[in-house]
Amino acid sequence: MGKKRSQFEPAYLRLYESGELARRVERALAALADCALCPRDCHVNRQANEFAVCKTGRFARVSSFFPHFGEEDCLRGWAGSGTIFFAWCNLRCVFCQNYDVSWQGEGRETPPEELAEMMLHLQAAGCHNINFVTPEHVVPQILEALPLAIRGGLRLPLVYNTGAYDSEESIELMDGVVDIYMPDFKIWDAEMARRYLKAPNYPQAARRAIKAMHRQVGDLVLDEHGLALRGVLLRHLVMPGDIVGTREIMAWVAHELGPNTFVNLMTQYRPAGKVSRTEYVEINRRITDEEFASALASTQAAGLARGA
Ligand code: SF4
């Protein structure tokens, strides 16, 4: 806490100067040829523009980029979080809160030069960080653009803003690249993950990925202005009827990552995506005050006191 921003250097600079970043780019792009970059293990050749669940071939698709003022205080500060929203997703959440982007792929194919320009544009706009939203399926494409952005003068910390359905390989590829990991730990139970995310191996994969993220960057460190510099910021969306297992997730976080973990319990759930009066009716409502109070109590009972 309270580290000076002037003394901060983003992790990726050292990797770039040592030549390791160039090797990572090569390794990541090679992995596209037989894609197992997320726990779906599709094994399609994305270099040849084949695609599977994430509908993304050789190049990333970006739906929008802008200074975002809706993120946590420690990310948005006074000038915004430099957000780049990727289209498509490797999860199939039936309640997706960004359905048009993640399920319908709203956006434009973006080669690495353009992705690098977006990062530099956001830095020039005064943003405090570059915030990659839904990056799980485009790790190679982000890595490919990064050296171009660094050559253009990029110096902001990178935020990896993920649904936590990440492979170990992807998190390894990002080791020393990402400063702030922001995983959203969505669901605890495999059967619930099958029903609502279409990914029964989600809980296991998320636990493994989040532990790897924490090993790399540790607890969240803020600068003298309260802005995030490095570490894990864990998110969790509270859902109707506690289909997500908030109590189990919070107990796991406290036990495995420690009580100093920064947690944002999100309350904004609204019925969206495939949720309607006839499908997934049990979550066709907002959460109640009692449900939020109970989620908060679970967090406190686990001993987690830091958060937004
Ligand atoms: S990144 Fe996409 S193609 Fe690769 S394994 Fe995941 S869902 Fe499948």
CA–centroid distance, 172 to ligand 1, in Å, is: 16
- pLDDT value at residue 205: 98
Mutate to test the pocket of ligand 1, among 32, 34, 38, 143 (most ligand atoms within 8 A of CB): 38
Q: Is the CB of 295 under 6 A from ligand 1?
A: no
| Regions of the chain where pLDDT drops below 70 | 1-2
Nearest CA to ligand 1 atom 1: 137
- Which atom of ligand 1 lies nearest, measured to the CA of 35? 4
Within 10 Å of residue 26's Cβ, how many Cβ atoms?
13
Q: Could you tell which of 29, 40, 86 is best to mutate to test the pocket of ligand 1, judged by most ligand atoms within 8 Å of the CB?
A: 40
Q: Which atom of ligand 1 is nearest to the CA of 46?
A: 3
**Ligand 1 centre distance from Cα of residue 202 (Å):** 14
How confident is the model at residue 146, as a pLDDT? Answer: 98
User: Does the beta carbon of 133 lie inside 6 Å of ligand 1?
Assistant: no
Asked if residues 261 and 234 have their Cβ atoms less than 8 Å apart, the reply is yes
Does ligand 1 have an atom closer than 6 angstroms to the CB of 29?
no
- CA 16 to ligand 1 centroid distance, Å: 26
Q: Residue 292 C-alpha to ligand 1 middle, in angstroms?
A: 34
**Quick check: 171 and 120 in contact, CB under 8 A?**
no
Residues 6+ apart with CB under 8 A from 198: 91, 92, 93, 94
Atom of ligand 1 nearest to the CA of 90: 7
Q: Is 53 in the pocket of ligand 1 (CB under 6 A)?
A: yes
Residues 15-34: tens digit of each pLDDT:
999 999 999 999 999 999 99
Q: What is the pLDDT of residue 2?
A: 64
Q: Whose CA is nearest to atom 8 of ligand 1?
A: 42
CA distance 228 to 3: 10
Report the pLDDT value the prediction gives residue 163, as an integer from 0 to 100. Answer: 98
Ligand 1 in reach of 282 Cβ (< 6 A): no
Tens of pLDDT along 240-251?
Answer: 999 999 999 999
Q: Which residues pair with 158 in a beta bridge?
A: 130
CA of 165 to the centre of ligand 1 (A): 10
Does residue 131 contact residue 86 with C-beta atoms inside 8 Å?
no
209 backbone dihedrals φ, ψ, rounded to 5° = -65, -45
User: What Cα–Cα distance (Å) separates residue 95 from each residue in 10, 98, 130, 211?
Assistant: 35, 9, 26, 26
